[in-house]
Amino acid sequence: MQRERLLKVLVIGDLGVGKTSLIKRYVHRVFSQHYRATIGVDFALKMLSWDQKTVVRLQLWDIAGQERYGNMTRVYYREAVGALVVFDMTRLSTFQAVLKWKEDLDSKVALSNGTPVPAVLLANKCDQRSHGLCPKLPKLENFSRQCGFVGWYETSAKDDTNIDAAVTCLVESIMAAE
Ligand code: GTP
Ligand code: MG
């Protein structure tokens, strides 16, 4: 008998960092240059054959960047068991917002034993590295550890870089935390 686990995972980060694009790439294997801001929240579902005994139903909550200024995140975050926190490697302000998103997350949701939900940091748009701020960024390894992330990845929704690896890292942490 296979068991099924439903995991609610949040995808958060500032406006235009690529949350919707990462999800579309991961779930539907497509990418578009066209930007249409998410309003409120969108959903996507991905089934993973996790191991011989377990099927994971990954419910991705794609939260609009503008929601950081609203007061709905507490409602959206409820019962989440993990998060992808995304910034845009080419825009410093979106990196600075990572801490605010992480604090917002940790102040509004936790696992049933009180520990923070596992979160993975994504430095997105790494295909545009040459326009980026790499030299200005602190070493992400240290930064992500200090901020309590379970891991970090440079990703590209455009080129399909590291998205599977990042999700796998998150799901492993979630499954280990149970
Ligand atoms: P909100 O819904 O407003 O919070 O934004 P979002 O984080 O969902 O951003 P979205 O996925 O809509 O992407 C914003 C813009 O960045 C779009 O024009 C995308 O095509 C572009 N984009 C997203 N990911 C990448 C990437 O990895 N590389 C490049 N070059 N462009 C990207
Ligand atoms: Mg969006």
* CA 65 / ligand 1 centre spacing (Å): 11
CB neighbours (10 Å) of residue 101? 24
Q: Which of 23, 26, 27, 35 to mutate to test the pocket of ligand 1 (most atoms within 8 A of CB)?
A: 35
By DSSP bridging, strand 54-63 and strand 41-51 are: antiparallel
Question: What pLDDT score was predicted for residue 136?
Answer: 60
Give 130: exposed, middle or buried? Use CB within 10 Å, 0-12, 13-18, 19+. exposed
Question: What pLDDT score was predicted for residue 138?
Answer: 67
Nearby residues of 118 by Cβ (< 8 Å), 6 or more positions away:
81, 82, 83, 150, 170, 173, 174, 177
Q: What is the pLDDT averaged over residues 87-110?
A: 95
Q: Nearest C-alpha to atom 20 of ligand 1 is from which residue?
A: 33
Using an 8 Å Cβ cutoff, are 6 and 171 in contact? Answer: no
Q: What is the pLDDT averaged over residues 140-167?
A: 96
- Amino acid occupying residue 173: S
ipTM of the complex: 0.99
What tens digit of pLDDT does each residue of 14-46 get?
Answer: 999 999 999 999 999 999 999 999 999 999 999
Q: Which atom of ligand 1 is nearest to the CA of 64?
A: 4
Q: Give the binding-site residues of ligand 1, using a 6 Å CB cut-off.
A: 15-21, 32-33, 35, 37-38, 64-65, 124-125, 127-128, 156-158
**CB under 5 Å of ion ligand 2: residues:** 19-20, 38
CB neighbours (10 Å) of residue 105? 21
